[in-house]
Amino acid sequence: MSSDPHKHNSKFLSLILRHQPEKIGLQLDPQGWASITELLDKCAAAGKKISREELLEIVRTNDKQRFALNADQSAIRASQGHSVEVSLDLPAVEPPDILYHGTVQRFMEPILTGGLQKMDRMHVHLSADLHTATQVGSRRGKPVILLVRSGDMHRQGHVFHLSDNGVWLTDAVPPQFLEPFNATPC
């Protein structure tokens, strides 16, 4: 049995709020927000009944804090990871000197020659700690960690944002700012 009783609905909400709002006929605003009432109504019409209480519990207990609520809890959005065009309106922030990116060996050659690209997402996602980067890389197999010289990037004009759930975002990481990190992942 899963330790997260809401895992299935959480994954469905991630799909809707990050990638396919049209799947249930939902329209996100330009910043990625959706009315909670409309979201729950459209989920129910699509055969995914989620109560307001369950939705709030999913937001509160999600281990990666994937969702954010507005001040009066009338709207919800994904914190980051969108493949649909939204503007999270996150301010530019000076990053720490070093960030990390978790991947797997089969992607290393193209990354080291072409850098990290956002692919089908709006940003490249970076972690402030090895543990998180290791978890991210582990989703596709044995993780390989890249060290990102984010401070150098920032000093050369690259822009960074910090999502509501602590993920560092940037448009791309050129290969000259990447180094394989050879320490044993935690």
53 three-state secondary structure: helix
pLDDT, tens digit, for every residue of 9-32? 999 999 999 999 999 999 999 889
- Which whole number is the average pLDDT over 127-147? 92
What is the CATH classification number for the domain harbouring 158?
3.20.170.30
Residue from 129, 99, 131, 132 nearest 116 by CA: 99
Q: Within a domain: residue 161? A: yes
pLDDT at 186 over 60: no
Check whether residue 12 and residue 69 sit in a common domain: yes
Q: Within a domain: residue 90? A: no
Check whether residue 74 and residue 104 sit in a common domain: no
Check whether residue 103 and residue 173 sit in a common domain: yes
pLDDT at 1 over 80: no
Specify whether the CB–CB gap between 18 and 84 falls below 8 A.
Answer: yes
Angle formed by the axes of helices 52-61 and 36-45, to 10°?
110
**pLDDT value, residue 112:** 94
How many domains is the chain built from? 2
Q: Who wins on pLDDT, 79 or 174?
A: 174
Check whether residue 65 and residue 20 sit in a common domain: yes
Quote the mean pLDDT of the chain. 90
Check whether residue 16 and residue 66 sit in a common domain: yes
Q: Within a domain: residue 173? A: yes
Q: Within a domain: residue 2? A: no
Q: Within a domain: residue 62? A: yes
- Which whole number is the average pLDDT over 128-153? 94
The domain of 170 spans 99-181
Check whether residue 171 and residue 105 sit in a common domain: yes
Amino acid letter for position 113: T
Check whether residue 104 and residue 171 sit in a common domain: yes
